Structure 1
């Protein structure tokens, strides 16, 4: 990637009320084009904020593994300690609004009270940074559609949970930009900038996930936009169920995980395409993306969680063991993409164990 750009609250659960109900509650992105044209890619996450968290308790016989609690606590403590006064992080990718969005979502996914809890200030500063990066004319956040998509996710998670009146209009603008970019795209999908006329599965998956998050948050998202985006993704699915980067050839596990997630969020899990893609992922249980491992962990975790509980349990056990062996003493995770991104990605791959957010509901 080489580009240089990148409602109404009535009836919503209040931020404080929702937080209490929860209990315990990218320069970087510019490197993705060249890497993913030749290797696998995963676009992190979708969590959705609106439904009241008291509807999503963990069952007494389904406890969070103690090892997950330990890793999560240490990871969040690292992010909180290393956030700067601007609300971002000082590592190589920590100033990208998309990365800041992932960090914010990691706190929300843990059930942290965003208004009165110990990390409320961290969440508030992260959101303020994202808001400061939004173009007030067209709603564009950051310098790429990757950044825009991930930042939109964070706004969707915060909407209705965080006591900040700026979140709602910012989220509305960011969604409108995603929809207008799709209308200008000849593939009826997305790529690097709002004006791109070609598309790929990484950027398109990111925007689809953001749109589902926004819809879950209560914003109007046209069915037609979602259907057209899913249709593009389907055109990039090969006969073996794997998804390619810009076509049905050269399928990769990471791309397939995002494709499965999009279908799961669309509640389209009965078709042959979904099953073939799931079967492909089941054959990749030992795979690790050496270029973008933390994207892969997150997307694989969520795709399998929605698709097949037994397979997710197997994957989750392996993922917990793997991440526990490489977490640094300071609570971060290593890698050349920057510790803020690495740590947020790792935590989000473990967040299915908590299920505080409605997106984790089957």
Structure 2
């Protein structure tokens, strides 16, 4: 299923490496490569992020996972992988490379080798896990050295030692198989569900769009069906419904998810994109308002960045202040879904300041 776009991804990574080499010989006031639309990463952002990275490193389990119970599994481990990658950490070298590789191995080992579902299919969060884990594999694909990925894996059975590319192709296939069973063209908690909601559908669709960006073949039909579903769930005023049983309502997380998928799917020309973006920018409010706080921050940061950079800058300034004041001494953030998830989501909300992840490219 891999297509010919992969070499371009490799070229981008090599180009980034060459920029770093150039900077080593450049004057001290040379602009950093992550300053793509403005000044370099502010000190407050770097300090908050560094403390968060060290916290995640300290709580990572021996099997490579982050979190536990309901708020654990492949999805949270995928978030952890993205947090490290988002600030430019290398999966092959450096202080955090071992943690990244361990988490990637955990995600791959917990993929159903028959169905391709990442993180199991029995939990009510299975497709959330699948979507976030697929996104993480998409972001690390092409950056990690596959030749050394399993070198530290001990006695892991051979049938669990898939490459990232193989695991990602299986995950994409599983997503499409699940969507074909769904009358709405979206996704719900389980892979065999026939109903859909915009939250789970957003997690899976973003993963598919990232996989396509990484060079994995994703049928246009699958993207079109999912976007059509989101359009049907978006009102003219930019409100986004949750599922078939609920009506439209003001929800920053849902509005942000819809706005983001329209942007990533290159559908900024549809009226629903402008409606959701308008709803977000007309009242930016506080970066810490609403329910599902950290989850909302994660998506709103990306939606504003892809839709209206000036609005994102204003929103981001408040977010930095709030996170700096609420971060615990150990680098974590307290959240209703646990400090591991809360820390990952808050840091990923900050990660647009770095803009290393391919999914963050405008």
TM range (shorter): 0.7 to 0.9
1: CA distance between counterparts of 2:290 and 2:276? 21
Q: Secondary structure at the match of 2:41?
A: coil
Match of 1:47 in 2: none
Structure 2 counterpart of 1:131, from 108, 117, 123: 108
1: CA distance between counterparts of 2:302 and 2:217? 24
2: CA distance between counterparts of 1:361 and 1:141? 25
2: CA distance between counterparts of 1:97 and 1:219? 20
Match of 2:313 in 1: 313
Q: Secondary structure at the match of 2:10?
A: coil
Match of 1:328 in 2: 328
Q: What is the correspondence of 1:104-115 to structure 2 with a 5 Å cutoff?
A: 104-115=81-92
1:153 aligns with 2:135: yes
Residues 277 and 332 of structure 1, relative CA distance in 2, 3 Å threshold? same
Q: CA RMSD in A?
A: 2.4
Q: Which moves more between the two structures, 86-95 or 146-155?
A: 86-95
2: CA distance between counterparts of 1:212 and 1:21? 27
Answer whether contact 1:93 1:340 (CA < 8 A) is retained.
Answer: no
Residues 186-241 of structure 1 deviation map (CA, whole Å, 9 limit, x = unaligned):
11211111111111101111111011100011001111110110000111112311
Q: CA deviation at 1:280?
A: 0.9
Residues 240-261 of structure 1 deviation map (CA, whole Å, 9 limit, x = unaligned):
1111101552341110000000
1: CA distance between counterparts of 2:189 and 2:19? 36
1: CA distance between counterparts of 2:211 and 2:185? 19
Residues 121-173 of structure 1 deviation map (CA, whole Å, 9 limit, x = unaligned):
00011011111211111111124111011110111111101112611100000
2: CA distance between counterparts of 1:230 and 1:90? 31
Match of 1:73 in 2: 50
Match of 2:303 in 1: 303
TM-score (normalised: structure 1): 0.84
Residues 99-138 of structure 1 deviation map (CA, whole Å, 9 limit, x = unaligned):
0100110100110011011100000110111112111111
Task: Give the number of equivalent residue pairs.
Answer: 326
Structure 2 counterpart of 1:180, from 177, 201, 208: 177
TM-score (normalised: structure 2): 0.84
Match of 2:35 in 1: 58
1:280 aligns with 2:262: no
Q: What is the correspondence of 1:126-275 to structure 2 with a 5 Å cutoff?
A: 126-143=103-120, 144-164=126-146, 166-247=163-244, 249-275=248-274
Bigger radius of gyration: 2
Residues 265-319 of structure 1 deviation map (CA, whole Å, 9 limit, x = unaligned):
0122233222221111124422545542111111111100111111111100011
Q: Secondary structure at the match of 1:13?
A: helix
Q: Secondary structure at the match of 2:94?
A: coil
Answer whether contact 1:22 1:356 (CA < 8 A) is retained.
Answer: no
The higher relative CO (CA closer than 8 Å, separation ≥ 6) is in: 1
Residues 104 and 94 of structure 1, relative CA distance in 2, 3 Å threshold? farther
Residues 84 and 20 of structure 1, relative CA distance in 2, 3 Å threshold? farther
Answer whether contact 1:201 1:246 (CA < 8 A) is retained.
Answer: yes
1: CA distance between counterparts of 2:71 and 2:63? 11
